[in-house]
Amino acid sequence: MNQDSFIFKNQLITAFFCSLLAITTAIISAPAQNTPPVFEIPQFTPLTRSYTLAIIIPAYNEEARIEATLHAYFDYFSKQKNVTTTFLVVCNNCSDATAEICKRIKKTHPELDYINLRPGGKGFAVKQGFLKALDYKVDLIGFVDADMATTPPYFYELITKLDSHDGAIASRYKKDARVWPNRPFIKEMGGKFYNWVLRHNFHLDVRDTQCGAKLFRYETVQHIAPCMKETGWAFDLELLYLCQIFGKNIIEVPTTWTDMPGSHLTISGCYKEFVSAPVRIKKQQKELVTKIKDEKLKKKREAHKKEKEERKGKKKYPKRFA
């Protein structure tokens, strides 16, 4: 199978999935459930060291819930003795009062910072948040959605699971994840199938690329942020692909996640965004992949040359014993 046929086949599979998802989601919906359950928060492993942390919150017209989200995160992280946290709200082309609310809250919460962007796109907002957070010189940089689908304890859990990894990402599809409400069967299978397609396109060992809670070490963000090109919803996939390109070790953590009303992601938007994403991202990052491969090959050759010279020197000047 030639490259064009392979690309067409993958586009066809993805297009079929998105079409199926669009139709079935319009027909099938989960039974109405008004009150989310109160999940028991597990005992997290105590941190063995202190961290400085920046949490980015991309916010597009979130005037109705940004204040509640910020205060929930302020309250929780102020009680974590081994974590000093800065919060950065990236107001993403907002036409409401999100930025004004952040400006008001900042007066009484010096741990809050915000930037107000005119260009839109969640991927663009997260990239600009990453670049701004690099100025803070913190140990860890992450992002979380403004809707509180991931509550503060479960973002903190990512820190406790980081260990020696370069990043930790929340997952709704890993074993032991807790998701409310139960997603319609066709929607859950559709999400898993799409992630399967992505994993096989990019060889990513990740079950859930799109969950909106991710955490990385400073050095990881330093490598990947300048290379991010996706401005829309597919940025998570590109971000994880960049981690793979740079050889970063990312752990996927089963999370507790509550679906919140008011999502700005529509089925039509999903269809348009993700059908072309795998091919587009690979094309955009092709030059970087070649550059990294060339650098690795150069280092390997230099190491081989050095080893050869050392062996030659030992042979020429054998060690003498008394």
Mean pLDDT, contiguous 10-residue spans, the chain (322 residues): 57 55 45 67 91 98 97 97 97 95 98 93 96 97 96 97 97 92 67 72 87 97 97 92 96 93 58 76 94 92 87 70 50
pLDDT value at residue 275: 74
pLDDT value at residue 28: 41
pLDDT value at residue 29: 44
201/203 Cα distance (integer angstroms):
6
pLDDT value at residue 30: 44
pLDDT value at residue 307: 85
113/54 Cα distance (integer angstroms):
10
Alpha helices in the chain (DSSP H): 3-27, 66-78, 98-106, 122-133, 152-162, 185-202, 218-224, 235-245, 267-275, 277-284, 286-316
Contact 252, 211 (CB under 8 A): no
The two structure tokens encoding residue 278: 């795998």
170: which strand partners?
Answer: 253
Q: Give the single-character DSSP code of 279.
A: H
286/291 Cα distance (integer angstroms):
9
Crossing angle of helices 277-284 and 235-245, rounded to 10°: 40
pLDDT value at residue 248: 97
